[in-house]
Amino acid sequence: MWIFLAFLLVPLIEIGLFIQVGGLIGLWPTLAIVIITAVAGTSLVRSQGARALNDLRRSMAELGDPSQPLAHGAMILFAGALLLTPGFFTDTCGLLLLVPKVRDMVLKQVAQRVKVQSFQMGGGAPRGPNPAGMGGHGPGGPRPNPASPPRGHGPTVIDGEYEEISDETPPRPGNSGWTQH
């Protein structure tokens, strides 16, 4: 429902703003403003995006939580899309998303509304509380590790066939199908 309202209201707001601004300053200055904001926005998005990418790389190199740099990068990408969309309302929203404090505020609001769940593959007990409220154990005792084979069984064996090909093997006669003669 919210998406429908956004697709309905945003164009109406943009049309109203184009009419008002165009009536005040004229057609050509209005179009010039739209083009200038698109060019300036693209430049800002490029520099902010490079900074966000560096933050993400640093977070990954330090084995830190990459969620904040990823979220900032996504908002910068969305800001770029808004700035490339012609209109004063979308340009204003896009420019606001390029301000780091505004992105932090948006991220804080989204974090309050989103519940993040995680899972872990490999060894170790799962992190965080579980439905039974016990540290890593449910009502039936310890949880099995889905990445490891069941107890009492050996490693997984995959049966297959192979054909050894060496340089001495003569080429097969006929057309390979990859070339046309």
In a domain, 74, yes or no: yes
In a domain, 55, yes or no: yes
| 107: number of Cβ within 10 Å | 16
| Chain segment 2-13, per-residue pLDDT in tens | 889 888 999 899
Identify the DSSP state of 27. H
Number of domains in the chain: 1
pLDDT at 154: 66
- Is 82 exposed, middle or buried, given 0-12, 13-18 or 19+ CB atoms closer than 10 A? buried
Domain with 36, as residue range(s), is: 10-113
What's the chain's length in residues? 181
| Chain segment 65-120, per-residue pLDDT in tens | 888 899 999 999 999 999 888 889 999 999 999 999 999 999 999 888 888 777 66
In a domain, 102, yes or no: yes
In a domain, 16, yes or no: yes
Angle at 96 between CA 66 and CA 1, to 5 degrees: 80
Quote the CA–CA distance of 59 and 42 in Å, as a whole number: 25
Q: Which helix (H) or strand (E) holds 169?
A: none
Q: Which residue has the tokens 């969620």?
A: 67
In a domain, 127, yes or no: no
Quote the CA–CA distance of 104 and 110 in Å, as a whole number: 10
In a domain, 93, yes or no: yes
| Chain segment 28-75, per-residue pLDDT in tens | 999 999 889 888 888 889 998 999 999 889 988 888 888 889 999 999
Quote the CA–CA distance of 123 and 136 in Å, as a whole number: 12
In a domain, 29, yes or no: yes
What pTM, to 2 d.p., does this model score? 0.60
In a domain, 152, yes or no: no
Q: Phi first, then psi: give them for residue 40, nearest 5 degrees.
A: -65, -40
Quote the CA–CA distance of 67 and 71 in Å, as a whole number: 6
pLDDT at 163: 79
3-state helix, strand, coil in the chain (%, to 5): 55, 0, 40
Quote the CA–CA distance of 82 and 68 in Å, as a whole number: 21
Amino acid at 115: K
pLDDT at 130 over 50: no
